[in-house]
Structure 1
């Protein structure tokens, strides 16, 4: 069975199977009440890592989590991301890694999450128009001011990760990755070598019908669901992987978390490992 805990940055212990809050509706009404219930149920079920971002509702997702969970229980990590902004005129989103913009987003996140320090703050995307040293230097300054504890990155290459590690201590990387999409395998390998947490976004995604059929077959043999198989594969693939599956339904949340107890045999894992090439 894969280990269930990981220490981000070497000291911040979390349950490896977390929760992505991106899909929680935030508009007033019944859907919002359900979102609050799902977030609270996640914590009741022992989730200690919840992922959000300014981009998710342009701050509304952060406010929702604060409404649902503040005052936060001991040991709960809510990680958020900055560096993406929305145009007030067009509504389109874009990258903004300018120091003033990053500092303003961090200050706003502190207010929305109702905290004095963000335990893990991730740069949502590297802004190619702003020197990386300026972007990460700003986050490092905020770290020194006590407003950020650990700093992570998202959607980076091995080269960008190496460059960033020359400027800051990188605690986490959040790249797209799942059973059928392993484009960032080299980034995962670099994180594993350095003990950096790897948070795959879109941890469950399906490819061609042949791959889906094979996953369904493995699930049937194990008395599990295909989603549980995909999550169990991630947990067993590398000890630094911290999946953050998202859902707006309590039953799906419970299904996802049950994947932690699913043991994949070596033959099953071998069958699943071969799927990426055909997806």
Structure 2
């Protein structure tokens, strides 16, 4: 797949994800809850995680219905985490995806409930009455639950909150971000891979790819936090520095952080080349876009 072909593929896939999310996130949830849920997940964001699911599924010729549901489920988990992370008890942010955060728009209680409901909806989306084999449903749920829970995203956020104002060595920082950010990105790749047939070699390679890409994403995030304006990022710039949080920039320095991001991207691409899969070009292009992005 060439870059121009990737752009057309990505537009088609993003349209499919947006349409599915719009259909599955209920507007009629009671007492304004549906409006808050839809505000939190629709019409915004890079949709990197859904694209990783669909690119990995394409690489293994996976089942389309299962892959689309997995793509939407992982985006729902990501969106719920952002809603909760932005609240005053967490990162206390007022801007997300270029618009007021959910708790600013709807109040803290409604934001908490919207996040809770999106988390539950993710697993509902993965378990339809028909269209996805029960064994695959269970595997997808297991992958997503582990990546979102104490071993993954929630555990990483707990470490993040406990580390404010404290010096962290690079290995400790890596462990935190492997959980907080990397686990869900790696899970996106593996959920897509689970939708098709993979041997042990391909599965291990895709896991390595997702692990390296997840860390690269966070390193770039830390770089952009100190080099880009809020208008470009769509969220408040400089928040980590202002909150005295350890980042790859504070631990390694800006230039070393940039080199580290490119090294991680190269490691991810090397893993793809060792996968034995016929076409991983969409995944490779996504890896480049993660490192070269400006927001």
TM-score w.r.t. the length of structure 1 is: 0.28
TM-score w.r.t. the length of structure 2 is: 0.27
Q: Which has the higher strand share?
A: 1
Q: Which has the higher helix share?
A: 2
